[in-house]
């Protein structure tokens, strides 16, 4: 089941589900989070809750997208209770781009592995453990809270101090923590895990800085299991012309870790199992325009699409104005 969140022309929230090539309103529902809580309480699936509530009139989601009325497929009234996180070096081939970013010519012999290559090899060897066993933990990073979550069609804001502003086409898992601290997966969505790759390349220890950027997810959230083989396309549009385009692969068939292993190593920390919290966890990529020497410009549009996820995720790049921050002693 594919779900979208949007505002109608009168400014009222709606949730719609895809039925073939069109979208129908889910009756008596204003948010995906509402459906998730109802499913937890009833000990059933979101699909069953939607079936019980029923479908209403057709909604023009394409028009809502064009008019800037689409919302991220998950949100809440208090963005501080949304955690944006992710993992890297999880996809077959992802180490090549990362290694090229960090390797300095002549500073190591060919047989010497960089930290990136070591981490990637660990995933290849034990990222898909046998049933009942725990695999190796992946690289992990923090991106921010829900205040940095951007909806489809909305600008991705790059800070004035940034060295670069680059896309990362990924799949995100979306989760809610139940009343007893148990994590529930709501579904999956396309994600642009927007990052500063120039800053990261300066020194690997700058990875944390480079990830503190907004990200975007959506437009559609798919419930149920993630397809094992996801094939999509990532592109950059400049004045409506494509200046860079490349296919990307995801899903477990194209990964060195299982989704379950990545989920385990995120939710093993009690701080990430606080009742009511929402988690948007991005699973990594192997495709970057930066790795091809492309530099996005202010006003460019990032577009990420994959047939399994329906509508493409589009976001224009916008650079914020410089701001001064003063710390006042109390």
The long-range contacts involving 115-118, CB below 8 angstroms and separated by at least 24 positions, are 115/204, 116/89, 116/204
Provide the pLDDT for residue 14: 98
The rounded distance, in Å, linking the Cα atoms of 220 and 218 is: 5
pLDDT in tens, 80-94: 999 999 999 999 876
For residues 8 and 14, the answer to whether their CB atoms sit within 8 Å is yes
Which of 55-64, 95-104, 136-145, 247-256 has the lowest average pLDDT?
A: 95-104
Q: Tokens for 7, please give them.
A: 């505002």
Calculate mean pLDDT across residues 27-48. 98
CA-angle at 51, arms to 46 and 52, nearest 5°: 95
Calculate mean pLDDT across residues 303-321. 97
Which of 98-102, 115-119, 155-159 has the lowest average pLDDT?
A: 98-102
For residues 248 and 285, the answer to whether their CB atoms sit within 8 Å is yes
pLDDT in tens, 92-112: 876 566 555 455 433 445 456
Provide the pLDDT for residue 118: 87
Provide the pLDDT for residue 106: 39
CATH match of 72-319 with 2.40.10.10: no
Rg (alpha carbons) of the chain, rounded to whole number = 20
Provide the pLDDT for residue 98: 55
Calculate mean pLDDT across residues 24-51. 98
Calculate mean pLDDT across residues 235-260. 97
What value does the mean pLDDT of the chain take? 94
Calculate mean pLDDT across residues 238-261. 96
Share of the chain above pLDDT 90, in %: 89
For residues 253 and 127, the answer to whether their CB atoms sit within 8 Å is no
pLDDT in tens, 290-300: 999 999 999 99
Residue 239 burial (C-beta neighbours within 10 Å; 0-12, 13-18, 19+):
exposed
Provide the pLDDT for residue 107: 47
Q: Tokens for 225, please give them.
A: 């299991």
pLDDT in tens, 182-211: 999 999 999 999 999 999 999 989 999 999
Share of the chain above pLDDT 70, in %: 94
Contacts of 130 (CB under 8 A, 6+ apart): none
Q: 230-238 and 278-282: which strand pairing? A: unpaired
For residues 3 and 223, the answer to whether their CB atoms sit within 8 Å is yes
In the chain, where the domains are located: 1-71, 72-319
Provide the pLDDT for residue 92: 87
Provide the pLDDT for residue 105: 37
β-strand partners of 183: 177
Calculate mean pLDDT across residues 7-30. 97
Calculate mean pLDDT across residues 262-291. 96
Which of 28-37, 106-115, 187-196, 258-267 has the lowest average pLDDT?
A: 106-115
120 — pLDDT class (breaks 50, 70, 90): confident
């Amino acid at each position: 089941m594919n779900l979208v969140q949007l505002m109608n022309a009168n400014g009222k929230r709606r949730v719609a589900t895809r039925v073939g090539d069109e979208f129908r309103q889910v009756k008596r529902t204003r948010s995906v989070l509402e459906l998730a809580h109802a499913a937890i309480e009833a000990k059933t699936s979101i699909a069953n809750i939607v079936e019980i509530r029923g479908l209403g009139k057709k909604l023009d989601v394409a028009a809502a997208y064009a008019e800037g009325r689409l919302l991220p497929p998950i949100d809440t009234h208090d963005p501080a209770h949304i955690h944006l996180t992710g993992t890297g070096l999880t996809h077959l081939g992802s180490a090549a781009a990362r290694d090229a970013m960090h390797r300095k010519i002549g500073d190591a012999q060919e047989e010497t592995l960089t930290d990136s290559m070591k981490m990637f090899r660990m995933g290849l060897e034990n990222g898909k453990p046998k049933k009942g066993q725990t695999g190796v933990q992946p690289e992990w990073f923090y991106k921010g809270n829900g205040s940095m979550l951007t909806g489809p069609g909305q600008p991705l804001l790059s800070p004035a101090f940034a060295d670069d502003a680059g896309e990362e086409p990924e799949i995100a898992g979306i989760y809610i923590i139940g009343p007893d601290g148990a994590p529930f997966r709501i579904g999956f969505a396309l994600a642009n895990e927007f990052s500063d790759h120039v800053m990261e390349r300066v020194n690997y220890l700058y990875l944390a800085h480079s990830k503190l950027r907004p990200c975007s997810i959506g437009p559609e959230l798919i419930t149920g299991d993630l397809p094992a083989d996801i094939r999509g396309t990532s592109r950059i549009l400049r004045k409506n012309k494509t200046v860079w385009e490349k296919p990307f692969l995801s899903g477990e068939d194209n990964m060195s870790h299982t989704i379950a292993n990545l989920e385990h190593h995120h939710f093993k920390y009690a701080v990430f199992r606080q009742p009511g919290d929402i988690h948007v966890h991005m699973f990594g990529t192997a495709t970057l325009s930066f790795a091809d020497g492309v530099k996005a410009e202010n006003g460019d549009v990032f577009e990420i699409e994959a047939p399994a996820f329906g509508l493409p995720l589009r976001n224009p790049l916008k650079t914020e104005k410089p701001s001064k921050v003063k710390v006042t002693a109390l």
